[in-house]
Structure 1
Amino acid sequence: MENLALIDSFSEFKDDKLIDRVTLMAILEDVFRNALKKKYGSDDNFDIIINPDKGDMEIWRNRVVVADGEVEDPNQEISLSEARKIEPDFEVGEDVSEEVKLIQLGRRAILALRQNLISKIHEHDNTNLYKQFKDIIGDIYTAEVHHVRPKAVILVDDEGNEIVLPKEKQIPSDFFRKGDNVRGIIESVELKGNKPQIIMSRTSELFLEKLFEQEIPEVFDGLIMVKKVVRIPGEKAKVAVDSYDDRIDPVGACVGMKGSRIHGIVRELGNENIDVINYTTNTQLYISRALSPAKVSSIKIDEATNRAEVFLKLEEVSKAIGRGGHNIKLAGLLTGYELDVIREGNAAEDEDVELTEFSDEIEGWIIEEFAKIGLDTARSVLNQDVQDLVRRTDLEEETILEVVRILKEEFED
């Protein structure tokens, strides 16, 4: 009866975890052999027969018959009189096989057996889970929101595996509710004790690269290569692409007609602004493309210090720097150069004034708003379209018009 109860309890795990037959047999035998070693000191002379499908299990102890009074090892030897209680015709020197019932191990041993069994099952499951997700690190994975915590979102996949999406791995604009499907890449699998913790990321550059593979057939097929990806998650990204086939326009293929192909990726990333540029080994051209949408006049590269001086007309400076300095920062990360912006201008334009000089007439927070988009001089503001400034800053049109009036008066004077 005890045998059946133990097998039944194991079968529950087998059905839940879909353990294959070979593994099931190995785990059961290992558990029972450990119990026999504790009880008898050795398991060498025991045969274990398991049929988990039927719920049957048999343990047989093999001993050699010796003359009465000559038993030295009770686990390996049996006296003639004891052997004849099993079969009356046994003789000295013959082998005796006797079935061992679990109840003979003792109730405490049976409880320990079951606990050991459960532990081995969990250990097996955790090992398999660790290997399963270790093999797909860097791949896109989809799971459902189970619950939302302040520091992480806990996801569950179709097989009931728990995946953690930490706050710092979420795009700033991400907002999740229970039941939402979430896509990200499996970034790492860490063992916490014996249990694997699976970490997902949506902020990794690799996530954007994998989205290109998933959404753009030419990238998936290897006709277009993603050479490098840099991101400020949720804000802006730059992706350098190339193709071995001169007939394929890599940028056009990635963006699609009127941006049709890249729109899905942009939406997935919380409307992250993505610049796709043609990769080139020509460093000057690469830096120039990386600073798009700004038009670069010329570039002076210092290979020794990995710096580059980028010369731009005044009206191009703010475009090169970008909102919050994102454009120039990403261009530097993409090309591997530290970029210094040098303003060009004629004699009249050189007579410029820093915005901070107007702090008695323009409030400091307004000056800071202009600085965020790379405008730190009077002429750099005056060279912009008012409506464009309204769109790119958090300032009202009325405020901008007042600033323009003050700046214009400076040059008229």
Structure 2
Amino acid sequence: MENIALIESFSEFKDDKLIDRVTLMAILEDVFRSALKKKYGEDDNFDIIVNPDKGDLEIWRNRVVVADGEVEDPNQEISLTEARKIEPDFEVGEDVSEEVKLVDLGRRAILALRQNLISKIHEHDNTNIFKHFKELEGEIYTAEVHHIRHRAIILLDDDGNEIVLPKDRQIPSDFFRKGDNVKGIIESVELKGNKPTIILSRTAPVFLEKLFEQEIPEVFDGLITIQNVVRVPGEKAKVAVDTYDDRIDPVGACVGMKGSRIHSIVRELGNENIDVINFTNNDQLYITRALSPAKITSIKLDEENKTAEVMLKPEEVSKAIGRGGHNIRLAGQLTGYEIDVFREGVEEDVELKEFSDEIESWVIKEFSRVGLDTAKSVLEQELEDLIRLTDLEEETIREVVKVLREEFEE
């Protein structure tokens, strides 16, 4: 009964863990073998018998009987006199099995056993948690805000598992309080020092894709497939959808009557502006759709270098570029083409790179980033719009405009 009582005292916290008794007994055997090896130097001559049904564990030490005074290894050998205290009819050369009581290991050893057992069970739990969440990578998950830090929000799920939502995986407009439920995608799961680190993301494109699956039955059922998703989290997104069923309008099904279906997704993403377009293998048509709401006059493609020269009427250029250059940038990411915008009817324009001796390259690059590649494309914009579109200082923009105007005044 001593062994049973001690084992129960060791495993009293079992019910709070996701661990069955059989697994617990296997861990116990491993822990006790470590203790035996530490006390006796080896454990290969010990038998550990586990009875998970009764919660019992027996330890037996096997030794060979030798003549009195000839014991060289006390762990492997026992003197005839000591052996006959166990059974009076033992003879030299026979094997002796003697039960080892847990209390015989000593109080300090038992305390060490308990700590080792707790450590092993935590390790077992962490392994199970890691495997569980590894299978959930790429899936939507919801957890509650537990602690708000400067660089991350710490969440807890219903099972008390800790999940991290880093600052750079949050939508810029996100604002959470302790106790709020947060939805995101399980982006990655790693073991760090035997402890699983679970990263949640609200900025990953796959989060938007999974929200479509969750909110739109035709996407969940596979009638509508999502071909590609690109995002500027919290600002704008483009989703290309397709269907094998000609009776279905994939865009209409995703958006719903007056935006009813997509509204909950937009709200979840902090009012992110979502463009849903029909996917096509026709690159010209695909680019045309991707640059919506701008109306394109013509497109010239270089399929080998994946570049597209798009001609638009002057009043359509700002629509194609979009606020902060998001529309043209996302259209390029969606289609895989580098898109250059040209204004219809504009002649004798000069590319900005021709001014590299007067305008620094990083400034030219910033204008190009928002689709302003030529002198006139910059000059046609109001100063306030240039400040809003780019990350440049007002003084820098004024200097650029001055240089460009001098070119045409000449």
**Same structural fold, with TM-score higher than 0.5 when normalized by the shorter chain:** yes
Compute the RMSD of aligned alpha carbons. 2.7
Which residue does the alignment assign to 1:15? Answer: 15
Which whole-Å deviations, capped at 9, do the CAs of 1:351-390 have from their partners, x for residues lacking one? 9xxxxxxxxxxxxxxxxxxxx9989678777xxxxxxx9x
Deviation at 1:113, TM superposition (A): 1.7
Partner letter of residue 38 of structure 2? K
Query: C-alpha separation between the residues in 2 aligned to 1:228 and 1:281?
Result: 13
Which residue does the alignment assign to 1:262? Answer: 262
Partner letter of residue 10 of structure 1? F
Partner letter of residue 111 of structure 2? L
Which residue does the alignment assign to 1:150? Answer: 150
Which residue does the alignment assign to 1:220? Answer: 220
Which residue does the alignment assign to 1:48? Answer: 48
Partner letter of residue 197 of structure 2? Q
SS at match of 2:12: helix
Query: C-alpha separation between the residues in 2 aligned to 1:340 and 1:207?
Result: 30
Query: C-alpha separation between the residues in 1 aligned to 2:346 and 2:141?
Result: 55
Which residue does the alignment assign to 2:171? Answer: 171
Partner letter of residue 17 of structure 1? K
Deviation at 1:223, TM superposition (A): 1.3
Query: C-alpha separation between the residues in 2 aligned to 1:4 and 1:26?
Result: 15
Query: C-alpha separation between the residues in 1 aligned to 2:2 and 2:371?
Result: 76
Contact persistence 1:323–1:373 (CA under 8 A) = no
Contact persistence 2:144–2:180 (CA under 8 A) = yes
Which residue does the alignment assign to 1:230? Answer: 230
For 1:316-331, list aligned pairs within 5 A: 316-331=316-331
Check if 1:304 corresponds to 2:304: yes
Which residue does the alignment assign to 2:63? Answer: 63
Structure 2 spans left out of the alignment, 5+ residues: 350-369, 390-410
Which residue does the alignment assign to 1:407? Answer: none
Contact persistence 2:22–2:52 (CA under 8 A) = no
Which residue does the alignment assign to 2:130? Answer: 130
SS at match of 1:118: helix
Which residue does the alignment assign to 1:274? Answer: 274
Query: C-alpha separation between the residues in 2 aligned to 1:377 and 1:74?
Result: 92
Check if 1:29 corresponds to 2:29: yes
Contact persistence 1:324–1:373 (CA under 8 A) = no
Which residue does the alignment assign to 2:333? Answer: 333
Which whole-Å deviations, capped at 9, do the CAs of 1:271-314 have from their partners, x for residues lacking one? 10100000001000000000011111110112233211111112
SS at match of 1:297: strand
Check if 1:87 corresponds to 2:87: yes
Check if 1:287 corresponds to 2:287: yes
Tell which deviates more after alignment, 66-75 or 196-205.
66-75
Which residue does the alignment assign to 2:101? Answer: 101
Which residue does the alignment assign to 2:360? Answer: none
Contact persistence 1:317–1:341 (CA under 8 A) = yes
Contact persistence 1:11–1:52 (CA under 8 A) = no
SS at match of 2:218: helix
Query: C-alpha separation between the residues in 2 aligned to 1:2 and 1:325?
Result: 75
Deviation at 1:49, TM superposition (A): 2.7
Q: TM-score, normalised by structure 2?
A: 0.82
Which residue does the alignment assign to 1:191? Answer: 191
Partner letter of residue 120 of structure 1? K
Deviation at 1:191, TM superposition (A): 2.5
Deviation at 1:316, TM superposition (A): 1.3
Tell which deviates more after alignment, 311-320 or 74-83.
74-83
Structure 1 spans left out of the alignment, 5+ residues: 352-371, 382-388, 394-413
Contact persistence 2:6–2:102 (CA under 8 A) = no
The percentage of counterpart residues that share the same residue type is 81
Tell which deviates more after alignment, 87-96 or 239-248.
87-96
* Counterparts in 2 of 1:55 and 1:22: CA distance versus 1, 3 Å: closer
* Counterparts in 2 of 1:107 and 1:11: CA distance versus 1, 3 Å: closer
Which whole-Å deviations, capped at 9, do the CAs of 1:194-252 have from their partners, x for residues lacking one? 21111100000010011111111111111111000000000100000111122221111
Which residue does the alignment assign to 1:239? Answer: 239
Contact persistence 2:141–2:186 (CA under 8 A) = yes
SS at match of 2:296: coil
Contact persistence 1:7–1:52 (CA under 8 A) = no
Partner letter of residue 284 of structure 1? Q
Partner letter of residue 96 of structure 1? V
Tell which deviates more after alignment, 237-246 or 17-26.
17-26
* Counterparts in 2 of 1:65 and 1:213: CA distance versus 1, 3 Å: same
Query: C-alpha separation between the residues in 1 aligned to 2:102 and 2:379?
Result: 91
Deviation at 1:80, TM superposition (A): 2.2
SS at match of 2:22: helix
Query: C-alpha separation between the residues in 1 aligned to 2:229 and 2:127?
Result: 33
Contact persistence 1:318–1:373 (CA under 8 A) = no
SS at match of 1:12: coil
Deviation at 1:73, TM superposition (A): 3.0
Which residue does the alignment assign to 1:315? Answer: 315
Deviation at 1:130, TM superposition (A): 1.4
Partner letter of residue 74 of structure 2? P
Q: TM-score, normalised by structure 1?
A: 0.81
Contact persistence 1:32–1:113 (CA under 8 A) = yes
Which residue does the alignment assign to 2:402? Answer: none
Query: C-alpha separation between the residues in 2 aligned to 1:34 and 1:379?
Result: 79
Check if 1:252 corresponds to 2:248: no
